[in-house]
Amino acid sequence: MHESFINLTLLLKLAKFKCIYINSEISLTVLSPLKVCIKQDVPHLHYSLCPPEHGGSDAPPGFGDLQVVSPEDVCLAVDAALLAGYRHFDTAACYQNEAELGRALKKLLPKHGLTREDVFITSKLDPKDQGEKAMEGALQSLSQLDLGYIDLYLIHWPGTQGMDEADQLNPVNRAQSWVTLEELHAQGKLKAIGVSNYTPAHLEELMQSCKTHPAVIQVEFHPQFCQTELRSVCEKYGVCFEAYSSLGKGVLVTDPVVMEIAKNCERTPAQVLLRWAVQQGVPVLPKSSNPDRVKDNARIFDFTLSDSDVDRLSALDCGHKYCWDASQVV
Ligand SMILES: NC(=O)c1ccc[n+]([C@@H]2O[C@H](COP(=O)([O-])OP(=O)(O)OC[C@H]3O[C@@H](n4cnc5c(N)ncnc54)[C@H](OP(=O)(O)O)[C@@H]3O)[C@@H](O)[C@H]2O)c1
Protein backbone atom coordinates (compact mmCIF):
# COMPACT_ATOMS: atom_id res chain seq x y z
CA MET A 1 0.00 0.00 0.00
CA HIS A 2 1.34 3.46 -0.86
CA GLU A 3 2.75 5.24 2.18
CA SER A 4 0.74 8.40 1.51
CA PHE A 5 -2.41 6.36 1.52
CA ILE A 6 -1.49 4.75 4.83
CA ASN A 7 -0.79 8.14 6.34
CA LEU A 8 -3.95 9.57 4.89
CA THR A 9 -5.97 6.76 6.41
CA LEU A 10 -4.40 7.42 9.79
CA LEU A 11 -4.97 11.11 9.64
CA LEU A 12 -8.50 10.77 8.37
CA LYS A 13 -9.13 8.68 11.47
CA LEU A 14 -7.50 11.37 13.55
CA ALA A 15 -9.78 13.94 11.99
CA LYS A 16 -12.63 12.45 13.99
CA PHE A 17 -10.75 12.59 17.23
CA LYS A 18 -10.47 14.94 20.06
CA CYS A 19 -6.81 15.48 20.83
CA ILE A 20 -4.51 15.33 23.81
CA TYR A 21 -0.95 16.52 23.91
CA ILE A 22 1.31 15.14 26.57
CA ASN A 23 4.73 16.44 27.37
CA SER A 24 7.03 17.09 30.27
CA GLU A 25 4.24 18.86 31.98
CA ILE A 26 1.57 16.71 30.39
CA SER A 27 -0.73 18.76 28.32
CA LEU A 28 -4.26 18.56 27.25
CA THR A 29 -4.26 20.50 24.07
CA VAL A 30 -6.89 22.38 22.17
CA LEU A 31 -6.76 21.38 18.58
CA SER A 32 -8.96 22.66 15.88
CA PRO A 33 -10.74 20.23 13.58
CA LEU A 34 -8.55 18.40 11.19
CA LYS A 35 -8.47 18.94 7.49
CA VAL A 36 -6.58 16.40 5.48
CA CYS A 37 -5.22 16.83 2.01
CA ILE A 38 -2.48 15.45 -0.16
CA LYS A 39 -0.66 17.72 -2.53
CA GLN A 40 0.16 15.92 -5.76
CA ASP A 41 3.55 17.58 -5.87
CA VAL A 42 4.44 16.53 -2.33
CA PRO A 43 5.20 12.83 -2.02
CA HIS A 44 4.21 12.66 1.61
CA LEU A 45 1.09 13.33 3.53
CA HIS A 46 0.32 16.94 4.28
CA TYR A 47 -2.30 17.83 6.83
CA SER A 48 -3.57 20.89 8.51
CA LEU A 49 -5.90 21.55 11.38
CA CYS A 50 -8.50 24.15 10.90
CA PRO A 51 -11.93 25.32 12.08
CA PRO A 52 -15.08 24.39 10.14
CA GLU A 53 -15.04 27.49 7.97
CA HIS A 54 -11.60 26.41 6.78
CA GLY A 55 -12.86 22.94 5.91
CA GLY A 56 -12.50 21.26 9.29
CA SER A 57 -15.07 18.66 10.19
CA ASP A 58 -15.36 18.54 13.96
CA ALA A 59 -14.68 20.53 17.09
CA PRO A 60 -12.36 18.51 19.27
CA PRO A 61 -11.36 20.01 22.61
CA GLY A 62 -7.79 19.85 23.83
CA PHE A 63 -5.89 19.39 27.01
CA GLY A 64 -3.35 21.57 28.86
CA ASP A 65 -0.11 20.54 30.48
CA LEU A 66 0.35 19.13 33.91
CA GLN A 67 3.78 18.60 35.39
CA VAL A 68 3.36 14.87 35.27
CA VAL A 69 6.08 12.30 34.81
CA SER A 70 5.27 9.65 37.42
CA PRO A 71 3.52 6.54 36.04
CA GLU A 72 0.55 7.00 38.37
CA ASP A 73 -0.02 10.61 37.37
CA VAL A 74 0.42 9.90 33.66
CA CYS A 75 -2.10 7.05 33.98
CA LEU A 76 -4.62 9.27 35.72
CA ALA A 77 -4.23 12.02 33.14
CA VAL A 78 -4.46 9.62 30.19
CA ASP A 79 -7.50 7.90 31.69
CA ALA A 80 -9.28 11.21 32.15
CA ALA A 81 -8.27 12.33 28.68
CA LEU A 82 -9.47 9.15 26.98
CA LEU A 83 -12.72 9.39 28.92
CA ALA A 84 -13.15 12.93 27.69
CA GLY A 85 -12.58 11.81 24.12
CA TYR A 86 -9.01 12.90 23.52
CA ARG A 87 -7.12 10.74 21.07
CA HIS A 88 -3.96 12.64 20.12
CA PHE A 89 -1.01 12.39 22.52
CA ASP A 90 2.10 14.52 22.19
CA THR A 91 5.28 13.59 24.01
CA ALA A 92 9.04 13.98 23.44
CA ALA A 93 12.14 12.05 24.37
CA CYS A 94 13.37 14.87 26.60
CA TYR A 95 10.05 15.02 28.46
CA GLN A 96 11.02 11.64 29.90
CA ASN A 97 7.50 10.26 29.96
CA GLU A 98 7.35 8.29 26.69
CA ALA A 99 7.48 4.96 28.55
CA GLU A 100 4.78 6.06 31.00
CA LEU A 101 2.57 7.25 28.17
CA GLY A 102 3.02 3.99 26.24
CA ARG A 103 2.28 1.87 29.32
CA ALA A 104 -0.74 3.98 30.24
CA LEU A 105 -2.18 3.65 26.74
CA LYS A 106 -1.66 -0.10 26.59
CA LYS A 107 -3.40 -0.45 29.93
CA LEU A 108 -6.21 2.00 29.28
CA LEU A 109 -7.11 1.64 25.60
CA PRO A 110 -9.02 -1.65 26.14
CA LYS A 111 -10.86 -0.11 29.09
CA HIS A 112 -12.13 2.61 26.76
CA GLY A 113 -12.91 0.16 23.96
CA LEU A 114 -10.08 1.54 21.85
CA THR A 115 -7.09 0.11 19.97
CA ARG A 116 -3.68 1.47 19.00
CA GLU A 117 -5.09 2.57 15.66
CA ASP A 118 -7.61 4.77 17.44
CA VAL A 119 -4.94 7.07 18.86
CA PHE A 120 -2.35 9.34 17.29
CA ILE A 121 1.06 9.70 18.96
CA THR A 122 3.55 12.50 18.37
CA SER A 123 7.05 12.37 19.85
CA LYS A 124 10.30 14.27 19.28
CA LEU A 125 14.00 13.54 18.94
CA ASP A 126 16.01 14.56 21.99
CA PRO A 127 18.32 17.52 21.10
CA LYS A 128 21.16 15.58 22.69
CA ASP A 129 20.70 12.83 20.07
CA GLN A 130 20.94 15.16 17.09
CA GLY A 131 23.28 13.81 14.39
CA GLU A 132 24.96 10.46 14.58
CA LYS A 133 22.95 9.43 17.66
CA ALA A 134 19.63 10.15 15.92
CA MET A 135 18.96 6.52 15.01
CA GLU A 136 19.62 5.43 18.58
CA GLY A 137 17.44 8.27 19.89
CA ALA A 138 14.51 7.59 17.59
CA LEU A 139 14.68 3.84 18.20
CA GLN A 140 14.75 4.60 21.90
CA SER A 141 11.54 6.65 21.51
CA LEU A 142 9.95 3.74 19.62
CA SER A 143 11.07 1.31 22.28
CA GLN A 144 10.05 3.51 25.21
CA LEU A 145 6.58 4.08 23.79
CA ASP A 146 6.40 0.44 22.67
CA LEU A 147 3.29 1.05 20.60
CA GLY A 148 4.63 -0.45 17.37
CA TYR A 149 5.05 2.81 15.49
CA ILE A 150 4.93 6.57 16.07
CA ASP A 151 2.38 8.54 14.07
CA LEU A 152 4.42 11.75 13.92
CA TYR A 153 8.07 12.25 14.94
CA LEU A 154 9.69 15.70 15.05
CA ILE A 155 13.27 16.95 15.29
CA HIS A 156 12.71 18.90 18.50
CA TRP A 157 15.36 21.60 18.02
CA PRO A 158 17.60 22.66 15.09
CA GLY A 159 20.74 22.65 17.24
CA THR A 160 22.56 19.94 19.13
CA GLN A 161 22.38 20.01 22.91
CA GLY A 162 25.69 21.05 24.45
CA MET A 163 26.97 22.56 21.19
CA ASP A 164 27.51 26.28 20.64
CA GLU A 165 24.72 27.86 18.56
CA ALA A 166 27.31 29.12 16.08
CA ASP A 167 28.97 25.70 15.68
CA GLN A 168 28.99 24.70 12.02
CA LEU A 169 28.29 21.12 13.05
CA ASN A 170 24.69 22.10 13.88
CA PRO A 171 23.50 21.98 10.23
CA VAL A 172 25.50 18.82 9.63
CA ASN A 173 23.91 17.13 12.62
CA ARG A 174 20.32 18.13 11.88
CA ALA A 175 20.75 17.02 8.26
CA GLN A 176 21.94 13.64 9.51
CA SER A 177 18.98 13.47 11.91
CA TRP A 178 16.60 14.13 9.03
CA VAL A 179 18.10 11.34 6.91
CA THR A 180 17.59 9.02 9.90
CA LEU A 181 13.96 10.09 10.25
CA GLU A 182 13.48 9.55 6.50
CA GLU A 183 14.87 6.05 6.86
CA LEU A 184 12.56 5.17 9.74
CA HIS A 185 9.68 6.78 7.88
CA ALA A 186 10.41 4.59 4.84
CA GLN A 187 10.39 1.56 7.14
CA GLY A 188 6.95 2.57 8.45
CA LYS A 189 8.16 2.99 12.01
CA LEU A 190 7.49 6.76 11.87
CA LYS A 191 4.28 7.33 9.91
CA ALA A 192 4.98 11.04 9.40
CA ILE A 193 8.00 13.20 10.20
CA GLY A 194 8.52 16.91 10.88
CA VAL A 195 10.47 19.52 12.81
CA SER A 196 10.04 21.88 15.74
CA ASN A 197 11.54 25.28 16.55
CA TYR A 198 12.99 25.68 13.06
CA THR A 199 13.36 29.22 11.69
CA PRO A 200 12.52 30.06 8.05
CA ALA A 201 16.22 29.59 7.20
CA HIS A 202 16.35 26.16 8.85
CA LEU A 203 13.20 25.09 7.03
CA GLU A 204 14.41 26.39 3.65
CA GLU A 205 17.68 24.51 4.18
CA LEU A 206 15.78 21.31 4.93
CA MET A 207 13.52 21.72 1.91
CA GLN A 208 16.57 21.98 -0.34
CA SER A 209 18.13 18.75 0.90
CA CYS A 210 15.31 16.43 2.02
CA LYS A 211 13.91 13.49 0.11
CA THR A 212 10.80 13.30 2.29
CA HIS A 213 9.23 16.68 2.99
CA PRO A 214 8.42 17.56 6.62
CA ALA A 215 4.69 17.13 7.29
CA VAL A 216 4.54 19.48 10.30
CA ILE A 217 6.49 22.26 11.98
CA GLN A 218 5.65 22.99 15.64
CA VAL A 219 6.73 26.49 16.77
CA GLU A 220 5.85 29.38 19.09
CA PHE A 221 2.96 31.45 17.69
CA HIS A 222 0.72 34.09 19.29
CA PRO A 223 -0.29 37.72 18.56
CA GLN A 224 3.07 39.04 19.81
CA PHE A 225 4.99 36.57 17.64
CA CYS A 226 3.13 36.09 14.37
CA GLN A 227 5.84 34.23 12.43
CA THR A 228 4.73 35.79 9.14
CA GLU A 229 7.85 34.75 7.24
CA LEU A 230 7.83 31.16 8.54
CA ARG A 231 4.14 30.77 7.77
CA SER A 232 4.69 31.81 4.18
CA VAL A 233 7.56 29.32 3.84
CA CYS A 234 5.21 26.64 5.20
CA GLU A 235 2.53 27.66 2.75
CA LYS A 236 5.02 27.55 -0.12
CA TYR A 237 6.00 23.97 0.68
CA GLY A 238 2.73 22.64 2.10
CA VAL A 239 4.06 22.11 5.62
CA CYS A 240 1.46 22.14 8.42
CA PHE A 241 2.24 25.06 10.77
CA GLU A 242 1.38 24.10 14.37
CA ALA A 243 1.46 26.60 17.27
CA TYR A 244 2.71 26.29 20.83
CA SER A 245 2.67 28.89 23.64
CA SER A 246 -0.51 30.37 22.13
CA LEU A 247 -1.32 32.03 25.46
CA GLY A 248 2.19 33.47 25.78
CA LYS A 249 2.67 31.05 28.67
CA GLY A 250 -0.38 32.65 30.31
CA VAL A 251 0.94 36.22 30.13
CA LEU A 252 -1.17 37.27 27.14
CA VAL A 253 -4.48 36.57 28.89
CA THR A 254 -3.99 39.88 30.72
CA ASP A 255 -3.09 41.91 27.65
CA PRO A 256 -5.50 44.90 27.52
CA VAL A 257 -6.39 44.42 23.83
CA VAL A 258 -7.04 40.70 24.33
CA MET A 259 -9.13 41.44 27.43
CA GLU A 260 -11.18 44.10 25.67
CA ILE A 261 -11.95 41.85 22.70
CA ALA A 262 -12.83 39.03 25.11
CA LYS A 263 -15.21 41.30 27.00
CA ASN A 264 -16.87 42.47 23.79
CA CYS A 265 -17.48 38.94 22.50
CA GLU A 266 -18.29 37.54 25.95
CA ARG A 267 -15.45 35.02 25.85
CA THR A 268 -12.39 34.47 27.98
CA PRO A 269 -9.07 36.02 26.92
CA ALA A 270 -7.64 32.51 26.45
CA GLN A 271 -10.47 31.57 24.07
CA VAL A 272 -9.84 34.76 22.08
CA LEU A 273 -6.13 33.96 21.77
CA LEU A 274 -6.81 30.38 20.71
CA ARG A 275 -9.58 31.39 18.34
CA TRP A 276 -7.24 33.98 16.73
CA ALA A 277 -4.90 31.11 15.82
CA VAL A 278 -7.40 28.48 14.69
CA GLN A 279 -9.37 31.03 12.69
CA GLN A 280 -6.19 31.41 10.64
CA GLY A 281 -6.02 27.63 10.20
CA VAL A 282 -3.31 27.13 12.83
CA PRO A 283 -3.69 24.27 15.37
CA VAL A 284 -2.92 25.24 18.96
CA LEU A 285 -1.53 23.41 22.02
CA PRO A 286 -2.63 25.40 25.06
CA LYS A 287 -1.48 24.03 28.35
CA SER A 288 -3.50 24.00 31.54
CA SER A 289 -3.45 21.98 34.71
CA ASN A 290 -6.77 23.47 35.72
CA PRO A 291 -9.79 21.33 34.72
CA ASP A 292 -12.08 24.33 34.28
CA ARG A 293 -9.56 26.00 32.00
CA VAL A 294 -9.13 22.76 30.08
CA LYS A 295 -12.84 22.85 29.29
CA ASP A 296 -12.77 26.59 28.70
CA ASN A 297 -9.85 26.32 26.29
CA ALA A 298 -11.76 23.75 24.26
CA ARG A 299 -14.70 26.02 23.57
CA ILE A 300 -13.23 27.87 20.65
CA PHE A 301 -15.22 26.52 17.74
CA ASP A 302 -18.60 28.06 18.52
CA PHE A 303 -17.74 31.70 17.93
CA THR A 304 -15.95 33.83 15.37
CA LEU A 305 -13.72 36.86 15.75
CA SER A 306 -14.45 39.73 13.39
CA ASP A 307 -11.80 40.57 10.82
CA SER A 308 -11.08 43.79 12.67
CA ASP A 309 -10.53 41.91 15.94
CA VAL A 310 -8.17 39.48 14.17
CA ASP A 311 -6.31 42.48 12.76
CA ARG A 312 -6.14 44.22 16.15
CA LEU A 313 -4.63 41.10 17.69
CA SER A 314 -2.18 40.62 14.82
CA ALA A 315 -1.10 44.24 15.26
CA LEU A 316 0.32 43.25 18.68
CA ASP A 317 3.15 41.50 16.81
CA CYS A 318 6.42 42.81 18.25
CA GLY A 319 8.61 39.75 17.76
CA HIS A 320 8.36 38.85 21.45
CA LYS A 321 9.02 35.22 22.40
CA TYR A 322 8.14 33.49 25.66
CA CYS A 323 9.94 30.25 24.91
CA TRP A 324 13.32 29.17 23.57
CA ASP A 325 14.77 30.98 20.57
CA ALA A 326 16.50 29.17 17.72
CA SER A 327 17.26 32.27 15.68
CA GLN A 328 20.97 32.16 16.54
CA VAL A 329 21.37 28.45 15.77
CA VAL A 330 23.37 28.27 12.52
N1 LIG B 1 8.06 21.97 20.73
C2 LIG B 1 8.49 22.76 21.69
O3 LIG B 1 9.69 23.05 21.78
C4 LIG B 1 7.52 23.33 22.70
C5 LIG B 1 7.92 24.35 23.55
C6 LIG B 1 6.98 24.88 24.45
C7 LIG B 1 5.70 24.40 24.48
N8 LIG B 1 5.34 23.42 23.64
C9 LIG B 1 3.99 22.86 23.67
O10 LIG B 1 3.02 23.90 23.71
C11 LIG B 1 2.16 23.71 24.80
C12 LIG B 1 1.67 25.01 25.39
O13 LIG B 1 2.66 26.01 25.45
P14 LIG B 1 3.17 26.61 26.83
O15 LIG B 1 3.14 25.59 27.84
O16 LIG B 1 4.46 27.26 26.51
O17 LIG B 1 2.16 27.75 27.25
P18 LIG B 1 0.69 28.34 26.93
O19 LIG B 1 -0.25 27.30 26.52
O20 LIG B 1 0.85 29.53 26.08
O21 LIG B 1 0.30 28.86 28.39
C22 LIG B 1 0.18 28.01 29.48
C23 LIG B 1 -0.10 28.86 30.72
O24 LIG B 1 -1.34 29.50 30.55
C25 LIG B 1 -2.17 29.22 31.67
N26 LIG B 1 -3.53 29.03 31.16
C27 LIG B 1 -4.00 28.01 30.43
N28 LIG B 1 -5.29 28.17 30.13
C29 LIG B 1 -5.66 29.35 30.71
C30 LIG B 1 -6.88 30.06 30.75
N31 LIG B 1 -7.98 29.61 30.16
N32 LIG B 1 -6.89 31.23 31.42
C33 LIG B 1 -5.79 31.70 32.03
N34 LIG B 1 -4.60 31.07 32.03
C35 LIG B 1 -4.54 29.89 31.35
C36 LIG B 1 -1.64 27.95 32.28
O37 LIG B 1 -1.83 27.96 33.68
P38 LIG B 1 -2.70 26.78 34.39
O39 LIG B 1 -1.99 25.49 34.10
O40 LIG B 1 -2.67 27.17 35.81
O41 LIG B 1 -4.08 26.83 33.80
C42 LIG B 1 -0.15 28.06 31.97
O43 LIG B 1 0.50 28.80 32.97
C44 LIG B 1 2.96 22.92 25.79
O45 LIG B 1 2.07 22.15 26.49
C46 LIG B 1 3.84 22.06 24.91
O47 LIG B 1 3.14 20.88 24.55
C48 LIG B 1 6.22 22.86 22.75
Domain-located, residue 319: no
pTM: 0.84
In angstroms, what is the span from residue 25 Cα to ligand 1's centroid? 9
Q: Which residues contact 85 (CB under 8 A, 6 or more apart)?
A: 17, 18, 60, 61
pLDDT at 61: 29
Q: Domain range spanning residue 46?
A: 4-314
Which amino acid would we find at residue 62?
Answer: G
Residues annotated as catalytic (active site), given as ranges:
95
Residue with CA closest to ligand 1 atom 48: 244
pLDDT, residue 68, reads 55
Nearest ligand 1 atom, CA 293 = 31
- List all residues whose CB is within 6 A of at least one atom of ligand 1: 21, 23, 27, 64-65, 90, 196-197, 218, 244-250, 253, 268, 270, 285-290, 293, 296-297, 323
In tens, the pLDDT along 35-75 reads 332 222 222 222 333 333 333 334 332 343 334 567 887 88
Task: Report yes or no on 326 lying in a domain.
Answer: no
Residues 276, 214: Cα–Cα separation, whole Å: 25
Residue 325: inside a domain? no
95-104: b (≥16 Cβ within 10 Å) or e? bebbbbbbbb
Assess if residue 253 is contained within a domain: yes
Count CB atoms within 10 A of the CB of residue 68.
Answer: 24
- Alpha-carbon distance of 252 to 67, in angstroms, equals 21
Q: Is 13 part of a structural domain of the chain?
A: yes
Structural domain contains residue 63? yes
Per the domain annotation, does 323 fall within a domain? no
Ligand 1 midpoint to CA 297 (Å): 11
- Whole-number pLDDT of residue 289: 64
Question: How many distinct structural domains can be found in the chain?
Answer: 1
Looking at residue 283, what is its pLDDT? 82
CATH code of residue 119: 3.20.20.100
Tell me whether residue 309 is in a domain: yes
pLDDT digits (tens, 9 = 90+) for 223-279: 999 999 999 999 999 999 989 899 999 999 999 999 999 999 999 999 999 999 989
pLDDT at 86 over 80: no
Task: For 290-326, write each residue's pLDDT tens digit.
Answer: 667 766 777 888 899 999 999 999 999 999 999 999 9
Atom of ligand 1 nearest to the CA of 222: 20
